């Protein structure tokens, strides 16, 4: 046999024989297992799905659930923040309104200067306490001499006769309406005094100390004010219950002292002999009536006969209408204050005529007849004029046309927020009755 015909033995394959067929279920398990070993499957995130519902007003369909939740949280926090800000804003506005806006509302205006109602409240507290202290002191004095007066002691009777009308006057003034009127008048007059002081300082080259009290004087006044408190009351309670500061009280004392300094200055200007002016006038109810009278007088060249005729016919002044309106010689401080302001101007001369509003609120035609630069004033008239110097001057300053003063706000005058806690304006006051005028004991003024 040839070699070519020899057949080599078949070699065995290294691969294991595969079965010709496998069950389908087994094939599927093997495929799943193989994939599990080689592929990491991503977790299913349901929150990334879009549900298509709008978030607000049709907007938000494109948002995922996570985004929707984020917007909802932001909206919730924003709403809560807005509410808190609104609450804080309301509280802040309420505080500002009660402590800034309302207190600074104007109660009265003097020549364009606004006086806030908080200044009135403080002056009301100070004025009420001052009045109360005086009343309590007078009652204490009266009680101390009551038994002696009833026993007929002459000195005690005389002292009681002096005290009784004073107590009655203080009692009549110790009311909300009276004290409110006094407090606002004090504020108006203080502003007029300040304005007048500046004018006098400028015109007569006076130092500021002429009208402005020193700190020493103010502190001394504070000491007097504290000592005047009744035994069952205290200065600290007064400050606390009326929501005042020590500076508020010092301001009230300064106003009082400023009045005293202006009174002192004005009284010192009244001397004898002095400038006096002989005048005549016709007093009417209205400006139109006064202007009509002036026209008629001018038509007759202000003749004496025409003055006598029209004064008798038209003048409201019963003291002068029978004598042609003759006022006689007038020294500063003894006539109508508004007429004096016009008449005693340095440029005034004999024959000058004007139509003006007087301090009483009526309207006058006034003419200067004579001027005497050195005419004597009798002693009693001079003394009376000196004692009344400030009141007289203020009556002229309050005349419309000389200064501009608004009508005080009546609502603020009676507002309970502006009334003091101490003293109690509804206090039980003693009954000043009986023939000897003795009282029945001290007042009860605690709230």
Which CATH number characterizes residue 312's domain? 3.10.50.40
Distance CA 229, CA 237 (A): 11
* pLDDT 10s digits, 317-354: 999 999 999 999 999 999 999 999 999 999 999 999 99
- The reply to whether 251 and 278 lie within a common domain is no
pLDDT given for residue 227 in this prediction? 97
> Which tokens go with 59?
């907007």
Report the number of distinct structural domains present in the chain: 3
Could you tell me if 258 and 284 lie in one domain? no
The answer on pLDDT for 281 being more than 80 is yes
Strands 363-375 and 113-116: unpaired
| Same-domain pairing of 210 and 139 | yes
First and final C-alpha spacing in the chain: 152
Token digits of residue 201: 């300082």
Average pLDDT over residues 369-374: 98
Burial class (CB in 10 A: 0-12, 13-18, 19+), 88: exposed
For residue 39, being part of any structural domain is answered with: no
pLDDT at residue 16 above 90? no
Residue 327 parent element (H or E): strand 326-331
22 confidence band (pLDDT: 50, 70, 90): low
Q: 364 with 310, same domain? A: yes
pLDDT band at 8 (very low <50, low <70, confident <90, very high): low
Mean pLDDT within 374-402: 97
Residue 247 or residue 3, greater confidence: 247
| The pair of three-digit structure tokens given for residue 113, joined into one six-digit string | 């200067």
| pLDDT of 144 strictly over 70 | yes
Tell me whether residue 214 is in a domain. yes
Q: Calculate the average pLDDT of the chain.
A: 88
Give the pTM: 0.79
Average pLDDT over residues 35-58: 57
Assign 279 to helix, strand or coil: strand
* Residue of 341, 288, 342, 281 lying closest to 316 (CA atoms): 281
- Contact (CB, 8 A) for 304 and 321: no
Q: Are residues 65 and 167 in the same domain?
A: no
- How many residues are present in the chain? 447
Backbone angles phi, psi at 164, to 5 degrees: -60, -50
Q: Lowest mean pLDDT: which of 12-16, 55-59, 365-369, 409-413?
A: 12-16
Looking at the structure, do residues 125 and 79 belong to the same domain, yes or no? Answer: no
**Residue 53 above 80 pLDDT?**
no
Residues 249 and 277 in one domain: no
| Residue tagged 């494109």 (tokens) | 62
Q: What is the rounded distance in angstroms from the CA atom of residue 37 to the CA atom of residue 33?
A: 6
Sort residue 111 into left (φ over 0), alpha (ψ -120 to 50) or beta: left
- Do 234 and 139 reside in the same domain of the chain? yes
Q: How far is CA 419 from CA 118, 205, 266, 426, in A?
A: 11, 41, 34, 11
State the Cα torsion 320-326-331-336 to the nearest 10°: 50
| Angle in degrees, CA 271, 272, 277, rounded to 5 | 95
Residues 278, 263 share a domain: no
Rounded (10°) angle between helices 246-269 and 389-397: 100
Whether 19 is covered by a domain: the verdict is no
Q: What is the pLDDT of residue 102?
A: 87
Tell me: pLDDT of 124 over 50: yes
Examine residue 103 and state whether it is found in any structural domain, yes or no.
no
Would you place residue 439 in the very low, low, confident or very high pLDDT band (cuts 50, 70, 90)? Answer: very low
Co-location of 252 and 221 in the same domain: yes
**Same-domain pairing of 232 and 191:** yes
Distance separating alpha carbons of residues 407 and 2, to the nearest angstrom? 153
Kindly state whether residues 303 and 190 are assigned to the same domain.
Answer: no
Q: How confident is the model at residue 100 (pLDDT cuts 50, 70, 90)?
A: confident
To which H or E segment does residue 369 belong? Answer: strand 363-375
Does any domain span residue 430? no
Domain with 300 in it: 273-377
Query: What percentage of the chain reaches a pLDDT higher than 70?
Result: 82
* 160-169 pLDDT, tens digit each: 999 999 999 9
Q: With contact defined as beta carbons under 8 Å apart, do 440 and 430 qualify?
A: yes
Q: Check residue 436 and give its pLDDT.
A: 42
């Amino acid at each position: 046999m040839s070699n070519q015909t020899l057949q080599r033995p078949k070699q065995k394959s290294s691969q294991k024989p595969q079965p010709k067929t496998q069950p389908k279920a087994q094939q599927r398990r093997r495929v799943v297992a193989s994939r599990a070993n080689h592929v990491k499957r991503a977790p299913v995130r349901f929150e990334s799905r879009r549900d298509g519902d709008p978030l607000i007003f049709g907007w938000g369909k494109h948002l995922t659930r996570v985004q929707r939740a984020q917007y909802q949280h932001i909206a919730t926090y924003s709403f809560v923040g807005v509410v808190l800000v609104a609450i804080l804003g309301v509280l802040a506005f309420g505080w500002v309104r009660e402590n800034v806006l309302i207190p600074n509302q104007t109660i009265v205006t003097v020549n364009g200067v606004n006086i806030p109602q908080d200044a009135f409240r403080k002056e009301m507290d100070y004025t009420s306490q001052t009045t109360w202290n005086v009343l309590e002191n007078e009652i204490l004095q009266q009680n101390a001499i009551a038994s002696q007066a009833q026993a007929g002691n002459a000195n005690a009777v005389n002292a009681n006769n002096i005290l009784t009308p004073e107590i009655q006057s203080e009692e009549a003034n110790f009311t909300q309406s009276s004290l409110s009127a006094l407090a606002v008048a004090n504020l108006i007059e203080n502003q007029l005094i300040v304005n007048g002081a500046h004018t006098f300082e400028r015109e007569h080259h006076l130092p500021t100390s002429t009208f402005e009290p020193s700190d020493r004087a103010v502190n001394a006044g504070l000491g007097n004010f504290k000592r005047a408190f009744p035994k069952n009351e205290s200065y600290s309670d007064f400050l606390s219950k009326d929501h005042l500061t020590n500076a508020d009280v010092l301001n009230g004392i300064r106003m009082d002292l400023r009045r005293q300094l202006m009174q002192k200055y004005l009284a010192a200007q009244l001397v004898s002999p002095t400038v006096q002016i002989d005048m005549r006038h016709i007093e009417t109810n209205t400006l139109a009536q006064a202007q009509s009278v002036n026209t008629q007088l001018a038509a007759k060249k202000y003749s004496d006969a025409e003055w006598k005729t029209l004064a008798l016919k038209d003048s409201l002044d019963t003291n002068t209408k029978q004598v042609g309106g003759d006022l006689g010689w007038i020294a500063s401080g003894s006539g109508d204050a508004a007429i004096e302001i016009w008449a005693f101007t340095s440029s005034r001369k004999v024959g000058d005529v004007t139509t003006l509003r007087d301090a009483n609120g009526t309207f006058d035609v006034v003419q200067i007849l004579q001027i005497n630069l050195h005419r004597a004033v009798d002693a009693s008239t001079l003394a009376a004029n000196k004692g009344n110097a400030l009141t007289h001057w203020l009556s002229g300053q309050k005349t419309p046309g000389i200064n501009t003063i608004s009508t005080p706000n009546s609502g603020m005058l009676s507002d309970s927020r502006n009334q003091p806690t101490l003293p109690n304006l509804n206090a039980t006051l003693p009954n000043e009755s009986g023939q000897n005028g003795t009282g029945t004991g001290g007042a009860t003024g605690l709230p």
